[in-house]
């Protein structure tokens, strides 16, 4: 039996995008969501990368903080296997250029709804200098109570989001391209004129004519015909005068 297709997609603002921090390693059969935030950590602006991954056996979470010269500094990795209940909440301390940082997480009741990234009932918090410099999830009150720290004076900015989706023909998400912009509905769909298909070793079966459509708020932005010839590529689009790179 052939393996189903994995479809990578990247949406990021070209003015803010910074791509040095690559922590997610995509494996066959694994979906990955990687979000990069810029905020003040250890006396200067740095990138914090939150990576969620999912395969048939487990969910995973990793957090990394940008170190000297812009390289990624590994900080925390959590594997959420069904039989590892104790790993679903906790904290970990580490040092970034002499500053102590702590990652707090509570995923005991997290609802993933079949997706790679949790949808509700969880928090992930990054603390430095008694400030919560980054907090994710809908349980923020619980996070502040657990950490005992105050919110940071500077709000983190989402500068890049990458998703590698495995085993889906259609994928949709809500996202903002600018800190003060509105949310947009983005959809990616792979289809075949001749019906369904599978892919193995990066090769499409003979007779297959796959296409890919990318829509924003229901409007068709990119239509890639003959996907077997253009399996990789990039294109620039403009959303409210802001250039967005689709890779």
CB 123 within 8 A of CB 136: yes
Average pLDDT for 100-128: 92
Q: Cα dist. 128→41, 103, 206 in Å?
A: 7, 9, 55
**Please, what's the b/e burial string for 98-134 (b: 16 or more CB within 10 A of its CB; e: otherwise)?**
eeebbbbbbbeebebeeebbbeebbbbbbbbeebbbb
**Given this model, what pLDDT does residue 148 score?**
94
**Given this model, what pLDDT does residue 11 score?**
34
How do residues 40-89 score in pLDDT, each as one tens digit? 988 888 999 999 998 878 888 999 998 777 666 667 888 877 666 657 88
Task: Tell me how far apart the alpha carbons of residues 57 and 209 are, in angstroms, rounded to a whole number.
Answer: 33
pTM value is: 0.64
**Given this model, what pLDDT does residue 83 score?**
63
**Given this model, what pLDDT does residue 200 score?**
43
CB 156 within 8 A of CB 41: no
CB 147 within 8 A of CB 164: no
**Given this model, what pLDDT does residue 182 score?**
84
**Given this model, what pLDDT does residue 17 score?**
35
Average pLDDT for 139-166: 89
How do residues 5-50 score in pLDDT, each as one tens digit? 233 333 333 333 334 434 334 455 678 899 999 999 888 889 999 9
**Given this model, what pLDDT does residue 211 score?**
83
Task: Tell me how far apart the alpha carbons of residues 154 and 157 are, in angstroms, rounded to a whole number.
Answer: 9
**Given this model, what pLDDT does residue 125 score?**
96
Q: Is the dihedral of CA 35, 116, 94, 147 positive or negative?
A: positive
**Given this model, what pLDDT does residue 16 score?**
37
How do residues 161-220 score in pLDDT, each as one tens digit? 887 766 557 778 888 777 777 888 888 887 766 544 444 444 555 555 778 888 988 888
**Given this model, what pLDDT does residue 128 score?**
92
H, E, C per residue of 124-153: EEEEECCEEEEEEECCHHHHHHHHCCEECC
Residue 146 predicted with pLDDT over 80: yes
How do residues 125-145 score in pLDDT, each as one tens digit? 999 999 999 999 999 999 999
**Given this model, what pLDDT does residue 193 score?**
60
Residue 156 predicted with pLDDT over 80: yes
Of the candidates 31, 88, 92, the residue with the CA atom closest to the CA atom of residue 63: 92
Of the candidates 108, 109, 139, the residue with the CA atom closest to the CA atom of residue 123: 139
Q: How many helices (H) and strands (E) are present in the chain, helices listed first?
A: 1, 17
- Hey, is 88 helix, strand or coil? helix
Q: Tell me the H-state helices in the chain.
A: 140-147
**Given this model, what pLDDT does residue 44 score?**
85
């Amino acid at each position: 039996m052939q393996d189903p297709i994995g479809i990578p997609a990247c949406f990021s603002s070209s003015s803010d995008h910074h791509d040095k921090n690559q922590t997610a390693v995509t494996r066959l059969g694994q979906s990955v969501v990687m979000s990069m935030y810029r905020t003040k950590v250890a006396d200067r602006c740095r990138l914090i990368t939150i990576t969620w991954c999912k395969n048939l056996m487990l969910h995973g979470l990793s957090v990394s903080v940008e170190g000297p010269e812009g390289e990624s500094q590994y900080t925390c990795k959590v594997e959420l296997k069904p039989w590892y209940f104790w790993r679903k909440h906790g904290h970990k301390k580490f040092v970034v250029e002499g500053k102590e940082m702590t990652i707090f997480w509570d995923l005991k009741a997290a609802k993933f709804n079949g997706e790679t990234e949790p949808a509700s009932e969880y928090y992930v918090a990054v603390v430095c200098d008694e400030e919560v410099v980054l907090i994710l999830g809908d349980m923020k009150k619980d996070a502040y109570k657990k950490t005992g720290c105050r919110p940071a004076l500077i709000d983190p900015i989402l500068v890049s989001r990458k998703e590698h989706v495995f085993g889906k023909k259609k994928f949709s998400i809500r996202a903002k391209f600018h800190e003060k912009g509105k949310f947009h509905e983005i959809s990616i769909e792979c289809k075949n004129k001749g019906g369904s298909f599978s892919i193995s070793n990066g090769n499409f079966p003979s007779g297959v004519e796959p296409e890919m459509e990318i829509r924003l708020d229901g409007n068709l932005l990119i239509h890639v015909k003959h996907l077997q010839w253009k399996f990789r590529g990039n294109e620039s689009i403009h959303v409210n005068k802001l250039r967005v790179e689709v890779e």
